[in-house]
Amino acid sequence: MFDSQYTPVKLKLRQYKQLPTDTGISNINEVKEDLIKLAQEIQKAKIHIRGTKARESLTNAIALVNDLFRLTNTSIDTLNRNTKSSKHICEEIYKGTTYGYPFFYKGFETKNCSYATSIDKLVTVVFIHQQEKFCKLEQILKSMLNYNPRLKVVVGKEKNLRISLSKMLGNVTIIDYSKADSDGTIWNLLITKVKTEYALIARNISTFNIDVRLERLVREIEALDVVTAGGASRDQDGLWKLGCYQTAYKNFSLIYDEGYDESLHECIFCDYVGGSFLSKIKTFQSFPFDTNMNGMSVFQDFFLRLSQSKLESVICPDSMFYMRKQKQSENSNDWAQLGKKWKLYRMKISDEVDIQFPCKKESYKCFNGLGYILSPCCLQELADMINFIMKTCEESNIVCELQEGTLLGAVKFHKVLPWERDADLTFLTANFTALTKLKSYIMKKYSFTYDAGSLWCCADNRTAGGKIKVHSKNWHIEMYGQHIMDSEMLLTDGLKPTKILLNGQWVGVPRNPGWHARNRYGHEIYAHAQHWMALGQGSGWIYYKTNQFTPCRTPGRHDCLDSFNGDGNLPFSLPIP
């Protein structure tokens, strides 16, 4: 049975009533159509899934669907990607494994056709000239025109930079930009000067020759129905790279894995293209570069918006661009605008970059409403406050333990619950006075109040009770006194109190925290339920229904709780593309 939270937002199957035994052919055709939709989504999941257990389950599901295909006489070919002929570039034919022997400069030959269009009528090359590379500008342009003398080129240069080009470079348009202009602004300006259907964004280009194979890229954009097509790259040291990345944007994290899951026509599908790429002008008009972005952020943002819109890109590695060596910055300031726009806490680009953006109190909002996960910065604020109080207790020989949902989060995640609303701690009532004497120390970081009238007598011949509240900007901790605590009894027996890891710090908990949590919350506590406050309940003593999250108002957003499984802690770690 399929769990509804795995169902993609756009996949909507018809709601069938029970079909009569004499079902007409029209109903059978509708069933087939929806069976195909379901099978396509399962097939897509199987292509991209990395987990072994999930892949085995999907393989079994596909086998069952294939049985249904046979029962309904539905063709399995309908699961294959649709391809079509290019409208501008003639088709290729492979001439065989020995045709290009021994150097293999050939292997595919382009057929003759009536609709063949010269590449110079289709593509304009666009790039930004960097001042420090001025001495090579004319050399780069000449290499482009050696490739095709009629090829149109648009080059951006800084306004105050004077250059003189040979008259032979008549197809080259030079566009001035201001030093204050962002890279996104410059690329958009250059695109407006393009008159052809396609533009090649020649990032960090160093030279140009037949290896770029622009006809091949145009053909595959049109044949595979993708929006961009790029090539592999080769730097000045001769180092060759695919430059294909898959991305995952979820839970305030943006993760890039270098590699591919799927290929067709000897091209690989990529969420992000790391080198030069070709696209239609209408794509750049629909998805203009963000004018707040500079450097590589321009393209990270561009491709992220494409993939979020379910538009696809490919790299055809037999197309190769000669590029200046580029290194991903490891400075979070260089990615600040990208982080701000996409509300990122963490960005990891394969094994090249791993950045955690600093938490600025004015830049994050804790509670976005029912159905949303909390930002890591917001959760860190609460975890820091809990750990500060627990460390203060330990250093002052005061017995304190995690309680309620705070304990449950530590047991399940070793962290604060991602949907938390407050924190609960207990302290030994006998330590109440000692705790209140720490008020001035605690108030250097947080507000601190206590209720002396909350003490009462007696339980087991001991004073009981005591209430303390600690507040930060967005959070509060409620601390309740207990006349007897597990940690005290363990110490009396000569044993060390039980501790659990919470956000990197070992803190006190009841003797057997797993048993305590199970007895407190009941059945299926390792599946998830949202906080009672978020659910509009009157107290936390309700019986929680687990393994479900409330739908968020904006389906598909990176921080929607219902995009996570209602069970397990691994889905809340770094996402896998």
pLDDT digits (tens, 9 = 90+) for 483-539: 999 999 999 999 999 999 999 999 999 999 999 999 999 999 999 999 999 888 999
Say which CATH class 117-354 falls into. Answer: alpha beta
What is the Cα–Cα distance from 416 to 419, expressed in whole angstroms? 8
The whole-number average pLDDT for the span 288-303 is: 96
Tens of pLDDT, residue by residue over 447-481, are: 999 999 999 999 999 999 999 999 999 999 999 99
Tens of pLDDT, residue by residue over 230-267, are: 999 999 999 999 999 999 999 999 999 999 999 999 99
The whole-number average pLDDT for the span 20-45 is: 72
Tens of pLDDT, residue by residue over 86-114, are: 999 999 999 999 999 999 999 999 999 99
162 pLDDT tier (thresholds 50, 70, 90): confident
CB count in 10 Å sphere of residue 187? 27
Q: What is the model's pLDDT at position 344?
A: 94
260 neighbors 268 (Cβ within 8 angstroms): yes
Architecture of domain 376-572: 2-Layer Sandwich (3.30)
The whole-number average pLDDT for the span 1-26 is: 42
Q: What is the model's pLDDT at position 21?
A: 46
Q: What is the pTM of this model?
A: 0.88
Query: Which residues belong to CATH 3.30.460 in the chain?
Result: 376-572
Q: What is the model's pLDDT at position 2?
A: 34
Q: What is the model's pLDDT at position 16?
A: 42
The one-letter amino acid code at 175 reads I
Q: Which distant-in-sequence residues (6+ apart) come within 8 Å of 567 by Cβ?
A: 526, 527, 528, 546, 547
Q: Is the pLDDT of residue 73 over 90?
A: no
Q: What is the model's pLDDT at position 11?
A: 40
The whole-number average pLDDT for the span 384-392 is: 98
CB count in 10 Å sphere of residue 248? 18
- Of 3, 133, 28, 258, which is closest to residue 14 (Cα–Cα)? 28
Query: Which residues belong to CATH 3.90.550.10 in the chain?
Result: 117-354
Q: Which residue has the tokens 């004015």?
A: 362
Q: What is the model's pLDDT at position 7?
A: 36
Q: Is the pLDDT of residue 341 over 80?
A: yes
What is the Cα–Cα distance from 13 to 24, expressed in whole angstroms? 19
Q: Crossing angle of helices 25-48/52-71, nearest 10°?
A: 160
Q: What is the model's pLDDT at position 42?
A: 83
The whole-number average pLDDT for the span 145-162 is: 91
Q: What is the model's pLDDT at position 12?
A: 44
Q: In what order do the strands lie in the sheet with 462-471?
A: 400-402, 423-428, 476-482, 462-471, 447-459
CB count in 10 Å sphere of residue 495? 11
